[in-house]
Amino acid sequence: MIALEPTVLSLLGAFPFDRVYVESIIYVSLYVSLTAVVLSTLASIPIALGVGFTDFPGKGFVIAVINTGMGFPSVVVGLLVLFLVSNQGPLGPLDLVFTKEAMIISQFVLAFPVITGVTLAAVTSVEDGVRDAAYAMGGTRVDVALVTVKEARYGIATGILAGLGRAISEVGSVLIVGGNIASADGTAITRTLTTAIQLEARQGRFDTALILGAILVTIVLSINAIVLRLGGGRV
């Protein structure tokens, strides 16, 4: 097999296991976690803005729930999502159990409170003066929201990174709802870096587990570095 990308991928070829196997694991990890984080972000920001800038009864309770969710155990989320997507559960007919989609659902649930919580803190700390000025200049509610998001963008980026960190590094829920499946030809189906590390450790192949761990850390580090650079070092 010819290495088309000589830099990173040829390094992978030197590892004590199949290249296709590792690449497909990395792909599954990124696909599941990035999709979950994108969906969480799309849901989180409007909700954080809504909660942050409106007063309603029970607001304190909602914030408490969001903050609690930031630390919700991933295995419990996995178990609840399993009940949801299992053949016996409400989403049973969609046949989602042991698929990447089920894993996306559980990581969405995990990342959502983190992104919402940090975004909420970021947007509420935007000074009132900024929003008042936007109003005064004749901005609509959408304009004001956009100005607020722009002001709070570094805080929001931190929230998204924290959500991604939580999603890509958790093992409990993806193991339960995904089943850690690889096909017989060595292509990961629902096997992520974390569940692969768990499997390799279970089989006593600690060297392979460590290399997969290093890949995981490198990926998280790279994403953080990219966002940091885009943010001009202010994230």
Residues at the site binding another protein, with contacts judged by CB under 8 A:
1-2, 4-5, 9, 19-20, 23-24, 26-28, 31, 86-88, 92-101, 179-181, 183-190, 201-205
Residue 182 has phi, psi (to 5 degrees) of: -125, 145
To another protein, the closest distance from the beta carbon of 24 in angstroms equals 5
Nearer to another protein, 93 or 129 (CB): 93
To another protein, the closest distance from the beta carbon of 51 in angstroms equals 35
Residue 199 and residue 205 in contact, taking contact as beta carbons nearer than 8 Å: no
To another protein, the closest distance from the beta carbon of 115 in angstroms equals 25
To another protein, the closest distance from the beta carbon of 121 in angstroms equals 36
Nearer to another protein, 98 or 108 (CB): 98
To another protein, the closest distance from the beta carbon of 26 in angstroms equals 8
Nearer to another protein, 165 or 186 (CB): 186
The secondary structure of residue 1, as a DSSP letter, is -
Bridge partners (DSSP) listed for residue 182:
188
To another protein, the closest distance from the beta carbon of 99 in angstroms equals 6
Nearer to another protein, 26 or 156 (CB): 26
Nearer to another protein, 93 or 138 (CB): 93
Burial profile 170-205: b = 16 or more Cβ within 10 angstroms, e = fewer = bbbbbbbbbbbebeeeebbebbbbbbbbbbbeeeee
Burial profile 80-118: b = 16 or more Cβ within 10 angstroms, e = fewer = bbbebbbeebebeeeebbbbbbbbbbbbbbbbbbbbbbb
Bridge partners (DSSP) listed for residue 188:
182
Nearer to another protein, 156 or 211 (CB): 211
H or E element that contains 191: none
Q: To the nearest 10°, the Cα dihedral for 91, 96, 98, 99?
A: -150
